[in-house]
Each structure stands twice: as C-alpha cells, then as structure tokens.
Structure 1
Amino acid sequence: MRIAIVINKSWNIFNFRLSLVKALLAAGHEVVAIAPKDAYSARLVAEGCRFVPLPMESKGTNPLKDMLLVGKFLKAYKSVQPDVILQYTIKPNIYGSVAARLAGIPTINNVSGLGTVFIVENLVSKIAMALYRFSFQFPAKVFFQNTDDKELFLERKLVRESITEVIPGSGIDTKRYLPAPQFKRQEPFVFLMVSRALYEKGLVEYVEASKILKAKYPQIRVQLLGAIDEEGNIGIKRTLVEQWAKEGWLEFLGTSDDVAGVVHGADCVVLPSYREGTPRTLLEAAAMAKPIVTTNVPGCKETVIDGYNGYLCQVRNAVDLAAKMEQVYLLAEPELQAMGQNSRRLAEEKFDEKFVIERYFRAIESATKGKGD
C-alpha cells in the first residue's frame, strides 16, 4: 500500500512522525513524504521514504493566497496516487482535505494543536473555523491530541463526532528517551524550558517567574532551549531574548541536536504555554523522568497529575508559575526523584508511541477497506 504523510515541514515528519514512518515501512508499505523541502528532507529519504516537495508557508494566514494550495496538493496527490493520506497541521488538514476529496483519496487528519487562530478570536479565526467546517466533511478519520480540542470542534460543529478519536499526542519512544542511569540533583538547581521563543508558549511569564525566584534564590539557573522565531506577531524578538540573558534572568541556549542531553542536565522542565495539542517536549521530559511544571490548559494538563509528577499553574500568571516552580525547588532529593519516576511511569502507561501507531494502523485499515494492498 502507498501511504502519503503530509505536513508543513520535513523537519516535523523527521522529528515527530519517524517512528510511525518506520512502522509503516516495516509492515511493507511504501511511504511518501510530501512537505516543503528543508535540511531534513534528505534524511527522510535515507530512512526509506520517497520525498515529494510541496512549498507552503507554515505561518501565512491569507486564506485567498492559501486557497491556491488546493491546486498544489491536488497536483501532488494525483502524481503520487497514494491509497491513503495522513495529514497534519492546519494547511494540509484544510486545503489537503479538499484536494484529496477531488482526487478521490481517503485521508486521516491529525489536529495536533489549535494554534494562534484559536487562542485569539478575530476575523482570521472565524475564517479558519469556516474552512475547517467545510474541509472536515471529507476525512475518513480525524485524530485529536486532547479531549478539549475535540470537544471544541464538536461544540462549534466543525466535524462529525463519528469520525473523531483522541490519541495521546504523537506518542513518545520510551525505549529511546530514557532516564539518566543515576539520579542527581543539580547544584545549582536547573529549570529548563524547551520551546521556540513565542509569546503563546508563555516565555514572558517564564522570565517574570525567574525574576521572582531569583530574588529569593539567586543561585538557581533558568534556561531556554529553542529557536528564535520572529515571524508575524507571535515571535519574541531576538534583541529582547538577548536582553533577558544579559540581565541574568534567562540562560538562552539556542538550538541543539542533543535535546535529550540538555534535558538530562535539568532538574525540572517547565512549559507555561497558553494552549497545546500535546506538547512533545513534555512527553520527552516525562520519559526521561523529569518533574514538570506546566499550565492548566488543554494539551498541557494531560501531561501532569498535579502533585504526582509535577504541578499545574494558572495560565498567563507569572506569580503562580513562580510559586509552582518554587514548590519543585524546595522538594527534598528523594521527593524530587520520586516525582521524576512518576513522570516516567505516566509516559510508559499513557503516552508510549506504540498506542498511537496501533491506532493509525487501525484507521488506515478502516479507511482503505476494499482498496486492496
């Protein structure tokens, strides 16, 4: 069977969907990655995928311009002729679904997060919802990464309940992401946020919480690992991030090819995001047995049982974030270790990628019934 995977970045397929790709290849299927070309496209080919470039802006919000994507998707889908298409991210989900319908190919969509258009309600968000309502008539299955996102789509009549299902994010490879062989509390204590420098990720609140904590515990380290993203109005300017670093509120680590190594060097992973699908960074942190502090919002709250493997804080509230980070900091070493072990247990029992892969295989079988191999 020929299966296409369509996302707004090759990087995304390689970093978040590679285990699914490998499982499909191991089952004897042909996998075609359709995405904009980037440094990871060749790596997908090296893993056994066929790659078809399809340029698209990941951040553009001009619906008239984006409507031209339907033609691009249709051309690609007719050329590749897959038996089923797996679509992720907003533009493939919307415009790819219309193109797949025109091409007569079943699709399985994944709403991996609602993004900025659902955080701020304006004309753009209204148009996005209208587009979802139209295009989501067509998929054979729509996966959501948390119950809140699914309920929001149902409440606004954007999708039929009969084709929806909730899966645990993109899942996490618990055999690859492992706890450090020996537990060690860092001296000084290290908080780490793994995220692009975006307002909606709660970076401003993280810096404000750092100021509050450093007033009491000047020795603690507060780190940010991730890229600067100055596109649109959602990215925080490099000059501001560098200013925070210069003033000592934040250690800006930039990007790394060894994220796991950086996470191992932290005592607690923090993500004060405004809303997520299911944040992969927190799944990785949980698998590596790290306590987590995150916001009590859809997507994030699923990764933490409050007081068990971390703490939930109020969204857009730096004072409450600082209080929850302080609670972790004040834990005795055995309690800190136990909280990390609970994170690992949660990763194994709830978020292991095998659960996600199983659901995809079932959905593919259902969507392609009668099509043969």
Structure 2
Amino acid sequence: MKIMMNSGTVLPFFQMRRRLCDNLTEKGYEITVSGYTEVSKELLKQYKADYVYIPLSRVGINPVQDLKVFRTYYKKMKREKYEIVHSYTAKPNIYGSIAAKYAGIRRIYPTVNGLGYAFTDVDTGKLKAKFVRFMVSLLYKWGFSCATKVFFQNKDDARELIRRKIIDKRKCVLISGSGIELEAYPYSECFVTPMVFLTATRLLVTKGVREFCEAARIVKRKYPGAVFRLAGALDDNPDSISQRELNYYVKEGIIQYLGEVSDMPSVLKNCSVFVLPSFYREGIPHVILEAMSVGRAVITTDSPGCRETVRRTDDTGKGKNGFLIPVKDSQILAEKMIWMIEHTDRVKEMGKESRRYAEERFDVEMVNKVMLETMEI
C-alpha cells in the first residue's frame, strides 16, 4: 500500500507530522513525501520515506510554473499508482488534488492548515489583492471538487469557504490543528522573575512582529526589567520585517533577538508568557500548541486559528489560559502584558491551564485518530 504526502518545506512537515508518518508505517504504508526544499537521506531513512522534489514557488500565481508543478505531481502519481494522496498547504492542496484525480486516484485528502495571505485582511481594497483572492478561490474550488474529504484546522476557514461556495460542507472534517506531541514538549514550572515574553515565528508583518515590538516599548516604560525575546528567521516574503527595522528594535534595547532556533522546548521553558499577535490566516499555530504543552500562558489575537488556543471565560477576550486581543493593536497587547507582570500568581495558573487544554484537545494522537479514521486507514 502506498501513500503520497504533499507539502512545501519538508523539515517542518516531518517535525509536525512525525507521529502520523509513524502511524502509517505501522499500518503497512509505503510513504512518499514531496516538497520544494532539500532533505537529508538520514531524515528520510528515519521516517522510512521516499522523496520527490516538486518545483513549487511558495508565493504568487505563475501559470507556466504551476503547470510544471501539476505535471510533476501527475507523472509521479500515474507511475506509482498510490492508494491515497494527502496534502498540506495551498499549492499542494490544489495541484496535488487535481493531479491525483486525473491520475485515477480515488482517495484524495487535502488539509487546510490556514488560508494564508490571499485571505488575510491586508490590502483587500487593492485590485491586485482582489485578483489574487479571486484566482485562489477558483483554484481551491477546482482542487476541492477532486477531494474525497478536506481536513480543516479551524471552524473559521471551513465557514469561509462554505460561504463562498468553494466547498461542499459535507466534505469538511474539522481537526484540532496538527496536534502536539505532549512528551516532546514536557510541562515545566513557569518562572515569573524576571517576566519574559516570547514570540517565535517567521518575521512577517502579518504575524504581528511589529505589534510585539511596539508593545514591548510601551511596557518597558513602566517595567524596564521586563524581557522581550523574538525568535525566528527573516523571510524573503514581501511581507517580511526588514533587517534594518529588526536592528532598530535590538539596538534600542526593546527586544532580544534569538534568530532561528533549533531547540524550541528549551526556548519555551525559559519564557514566562508566549505571545503571537498574528493576523495571518493561520490554521492553528503549532508554536502556540508547543507553548501550551510546556505550560505557558498565551496572549494571541481573536482571529481565525489563533482564537482556538485560548479557553474563553467571557466576551472580553480573557481566558483560563491567557488573553485574546484585537489584531493590529499594540496598546491593548501592552496592557495585557502589564496585567501579567502585575498578576504573577495568575500567570502560573494560566500556564497550568494551557497544559490541561493541550492534553484535552490538541494531543496529536487524538488528531491522528480522526484523520486515519476519515481516510479509512
């Protein structure tokens, strides 16, 4: 039995879907993974997987390039005759699903792990943004018409595409993000002296990096001893924070920049509160699940995907394990940070609640169980 799993960047794919690959191997499936990044032979050997390079460009719509992507998928699928095709991210979901249908594969399961920049409320009044959203909507409709079922990581994305008549709601299956390996991110007691706020993400404007830095500036006026750490790599995306802007915040002493980190459990263990003020159309941000598993209070936005990670107690955005805040509002973000500095006992309790919530809803084994049952594996 063979399954093809289509993604973009391969290392994050294996990091977040390691247990799913293990489950498939245990059930006798031969796995082929596709993507557009380099991958080591050691990694493929570890996961008992083959690899096929797909000439994807991460952003933009280029008919010539995208046709090459479709043909690469189609040739591989036609030759190997996979029983199942399972995809993640926009272009693999679209072109992988269409190619699978034309190749005669009957079990096709895309996963919507966020609707991405095309559906993010940035420059929505501009003609180019409207055109991109229109084209992406058409392509999604075509791709999902080929699918058996489509996994969604949050309710908002499913509702959006149903409302736009891009997908039939009977095809939608809701899952709790990619899930989190609880044992890989063990609980650790939260320290609050000094209070350390951490953001870890791609350094994009839409990920709320600028709001985090501006909120840190506000907080430091009242509590100069508070620590603000930023982890993540600069990106070639046009939406990326510039090196110059990053250097400005570092030189001013507002943030400590950690760069791209390889040991996230340790980085999370050494923070008090995790912050992600994103307004990007997330699935459910895996990094928030990692922080919850470690036992950290969360401040994030009341936006699709992010809002799933805070257990609300009222309509003000306050939750048992943290706060939901409006998007693009560094002032309110600063107010919630100050609240946490002034209520350290509550921060510790919120961290414990984060771990409980991760165990109850986001355990990767529960997520994989739903997916495997849906795919009839």
Q: TM-score, structure 1 length as denominator? A: 0.94
CA contact (8 A) 1:230 1:238 kept: no
Residues 313-345 of structure 1 deviation map (CA, whole Å, 9 limit, x = unaligned): 111111111111222221133x22211110000
- Give 1:50 shift: 1.6
SS of residue in 1 equivalent to 2:259? coil
Select which of 348, 353, 358 maps to 1:337: 348
| Structure 1 contact 33–49 (Cα < 8 Å) conserved | yes
The CA deviation at 1:36 is 2.1
**Counterpart residue type for residue 31 of structure 2:** V
Which letter does structure 2 place at the counterpart of 1:18?
R
> In the alignment, does 2:119 pair up with 1:118?
yes
**3-state SS of the aligned residue for 1:175?**
helix
Question: Aligned equivalents of 2:177 and 2:373: distance in 1?
Answer: 17
Instruction: Tell me which residue corresponds to 2:164.
Output: 156
Q: For residues 21-53 of structure 1, give each alpha carbon's deviation from its aligned partner in whole angstroms, at most 9, with x where no partner exists.
A: 011112222111112242456413332112222
- 2:214 maps to 208
**Equivalent position amino acid for 1:67 in 2:** L
Question: Does the 8 Å CA contact 2:190/2:296 hold for their aligned counterparts?
Answer: no
Equivalent residue, structure 1, for 2:367:
356
Q: 1:328 maps to which residue? A: 340
User: Match for residue 300 of structure 2?
Assistant: 294
Kept after mapping to 2: 8 A contact 1:41/1:51: no
Aligned partner of residue 50 in structure 1, secondary structure: strand
AA partner of residue 199 (structure 2): M
1:317 aligns with 2:321: no
- What residue in structure 2 maps to residue 199 of structure 1? 205
Return 101-110 or 29-38, whichever deviates more. 29-38
Q: Does 1:263 align with 2:264?
A: no
Moved over 6 A (4+): none
Cα distance, 1:4–1:222 mapped onto 2, change above 3 Å: same
* Match in the other structure for 2:80: 80
Which ranges of structure 2 fall in alignment gaps of 5 or more residues? 125-129, 312-317
Residues 62-97 of structure 1: per-residue CA shift (max 9 Å, x gap): 345323321111012123321001101000111111
Q: 1:200 to 1:41 in 2, by over 3 A?
A: farther
- 2:32 aligns to what? 32
Aligned partner of residue 365 in structure 1, secondary structure? coil
Q: 1:184 Cα deviation (Å)?
A: 4.5
**Distance in 2 of aligned mates of 1:223 and 1:63:** 41
Q: Does the 8 Å contact 1:191/1:269 carry over to 2?
A: yes
Q: What pairs up with 1:221-260 in 2 under 5 angstroms? A: 221-231=227-237, 233-260=238-265
Q: Aligned equivalents of 2:360 and 2:182: distance in 1?
A: 10
Counterpart secondary structure, 1:57: coil
Corresponding letter in the other structure for 2:375: I
Distance change in 2, residues 1:184/1:310 (3 Å): closer
Q: Give the TM-score of the pair, scaled to structure 2.
A: 0.93
Distance in 1, matches of 2:258 and 2:252, equals: 15
Question: Hey, what's the Cα distance between the residues in 1 that align with 2:41 and 2:273?
Answer: 33
Structure 2: distance between partners of 1:40 and 1:117: 32
Match for residue 21 of structure 2? Answer: 21
- Which of 252, 271, 277 aligns to 1:272? It is 277
Change (3 A) 1:98 1:286: same
Answer whether contact 2:190 2:351 (CA < 8 A) is retained.
no
36 and 80 in structure 1: CA distance in 2 versus 1, 3 angstrom threshold: farther
8 A Cα contact 1:14 1:40, kept in partner:
no
Contact in 2 for aligned 1:11/1:41 (Cα 8 Å):
no
Structure 1 stretches lacking a partner, 5+ long: 367-373
**Number of aligned residue pairs:** 362
8 Å contact kept, 1:14–1:44: no
